Amino acid sequence: MTQLSHASATGHQKPPAILSLIGDTPLVEVTRLETGLCQLFLKLESHNPTGSIKDRVALAMIEAAERDGKLEPGGTIIEATAGNTGLGLALIAGAKGYRIILVIPDKMSQEKIAHVRALGAEVRLTRSDVTRGHPEYYQDMAARLATEIPGAFYVNQFGNPANPLAHERGTGPEIWEQMGHHLDAVVCGVGSGGTITGLSRFFRRVQPNLEMVLADPAGSILVDFVKSGNVGTAGSWAVEGIGEDFVPDIADLSRVSQAYTIEDAESFATARDLLRQEGILGGSSTGTLLAAALRYCRAQSHKKRVVTFVADDGNKYLSKMYNDFWMAEQGFTSRPAQGDLSDLISHRYEAGEVVTVGPGDTLLTAVTRMRSADVSQVPVVDESGRPVGILDESDVLVKVHHDPERFNHAVHTAMTDRLETLAPTAKMKDLLEVFDRGRVAIVMEGNKFLGLITRSDLLSYLRRQMPGA
């Protein structure tokens, strides 16, 4: 593998054909969401090989460095990112046979880190709690590594002119052709500013009247900067890939004529709507862009043709924005409050949200189910839907630790059948007493099983009650 990779970097082997699939992404019209008088089209950047618009710039920046002699066969590519740019760079580095090191802040999700590692990237984890100027700040660390490693090339997408150029020469002309040279506005987000800058430059030449519309998450400083020229203090936001706390070197926002601030909750709800209504699984920023595009479209008094992006695919957000429990836990959605303990139940039995086992299931089934749902205990529910026990990992361990064959024994042989049941009308004090006894509460309304309340359900509930949450 190493040899093959090296050979491809020296030009003896063709890179895999997947690289030819970067760009030339499809464009589809939104047909079911309400777009007022306008026609709205989505450029599906999710169709790039690693699932995002960043494959374009990753390829362009690597090829520019090759042309400029900044990256030579056997060289090392270095970038500070765990995001989509890292995925694109890792794919291309692997295809062309370069070593790649990604410097990643330690708050990034394990899934993203696993993905770039699986593509062959070396990962250097660094602190997430330090800012620009600190030696362990991820961008400073990447820049330093590039000076220490012979033959290293620091990509620096925030200051690399090949980044906007990829959009000026690729994304812009593609959109122009796909729209039949008939286009009035483009709605765009800003991460590094590459997309908006490249598109602004291209459309300034071919369609000077085109409106560039900025979609920005609430908390980012960019909308304020566009409207007033001020760089304010950034807040935080949960949408990924767009929004900034500074204005990147390569970002040219001078052609932005309208700018919309979109709250996380609206971004997520809009992305989910896109999936339900149009069948398109976009990432979280897709929700921000689409929400801004829909506002823009609905505000127009005559028909316009508008393009926005599905900048990355939604697969990496399945356990977040597309997960109802995550949305509820983060406070983005809520059920009507009952004003009693049932408000603390995160997974409702009646709605099929509780992972359960039957008393006759094997312990192996129970453990497999607990693993895949990432829970450490399950209620044992009989055929009539009545809870008859609780099984937790320690119950199973006590049973099987001398004899693993007992994984084949039935759940009822290991479960705890002394249940702590509470009515929804019980008091918080009763709940805390259940926790003090080291147990979980089973909430029953008469004979009807509503769900469990665990310590972590109570913590999530209390966090949502925090002022300003």
Ligand X SMILES: Cc1ncc(COP(=O)(O)O)c(C=O)c1O
Per-residue contact track with ligand X, 67 to 86, x per CB under 6 A? Answer: -----------------x--
For residue 100, the minimal CB distance to ligand X (Å) is 19
Question: Which tokens go with 460?
Answer: 């999530």
Q: Specify the residue, 136 or 245, whose C-beta has the smaller distance to ligand X.
A: 245
DSSP line for 382-405: -TTS-EEEEEEHHHHHHHHSS-GG
- The reply on whether position 190 binds ligand X by CB under 6 A is yes
Phi, psi of 218 (to 5 degrees): -60, 135
How many angstroms separate the CA atoms of 61 and 262, rounded? 30
Catalytic (active site) residue 448: no
Q: Specify the residue, 5 or 46, whose C-beta has the smaller distance to ligand X.
A: 46
Q: Specify the residue, 137 or 317, whose C-beta has the smaller distance to ligand X.
A: 317
For residue 241, the minimal CB distance to ligand X (Å) is 3
- The reply on whether position 193 binds ligand X by CB under 6 A is yes
Q: Which residue is at the shortest CB distance from ligand X?
A: 241
Choices 173-181, 188-196, 201-209, 423-431; region in contact with ligand X by CB under 6 A: 188-196
Q: Decide: 241 and 289 in contact? Cβ < 8 Å.
A: no
For residue 465, the minimal CB distance to ligand X (Å) is 32
Q: Specify the residue, 39 or 285, whose C-beta has the smaller distance to ligand X.
A: 285
Question: Which tokens go with 157?
Answer: 């997408």
Site for ligand X in 212-241 (CB under 6 A): 241
Instruction: Tell me which residue has tokens 């040899």.
Output: 3
- The reply on whether position 289 binds ligand X by CB under 6 A is yes
Nearest CA to 440 among 397, 398, 378?
378
- The reply on whether position 191 binds ligand X by CB under 6 A is yes
Angle (deg, nearest 10), helices 84-96 and 2-9? 90
Choices 90-98, 146-154, 183-191, 436-444; region in contact with ligand X by CB under 6 A: 183-191
Per-residue contact track with ligand X, 347 to 386, x per CB under 6 A? Answer: ----------------------------------------
Angle (deg, nearest 10), helices 264-278 and 284-299? 90
14, 43, 54, 112: the catalytic one is 54
Tell me the three state secondary structure of residue 452: strand
What is the identity of the amino acid at 343? D
Task: Measure Cα distances from 35 to 188, 244, 412 in Å.
Answer: 17, 28, 56
Candidate residues 25, 285, 330, 356; the one interacting with ligand X per rule CB under 6 A: 285
Determine the distance from the C-alpha atom of residue 27 to the mean position of all C-alpha atoms in its chain, rounded to a whole number.
Answer: 22
First-residue to last-residue Cα distance in the chain: 50
Choices 174-182, 281-289, 322-330, 410-418; region in contact with ligand X by CB under 6 A: 281-289
* Bridge pairing between strands 421-422 and 441-445: parallel
- The reply on whether position 53 binds ligand X by CB under 6 A is yes
How many angstroms separate the CA atoms of 442 and 385, rounded? 13
Residues in the chain: 469
- The reply on whether position 312 binds ligand X by CB under 6 A is yes
Choices 205-213, 259-267, 309-317, 375-383; region in contact with ligand X by CB under 6 A: 309-317
How many angstroms separate the CA atoms of 200 and 118, rounded? 35
- Give how many residues touch ligand X by CB under 6 A: 18
Nearest CA to 166 among 25, 18, 316?
25
Candidate residues 41, 309, 349, 449; the one interacting with ligand X per rule CB under 6 A: 309
Catalytic residues: 54
Binding site for ligand X (CB under 6 A): 53, 84, 188-195, 241-242, 283, 285, 289, 309, 311-312
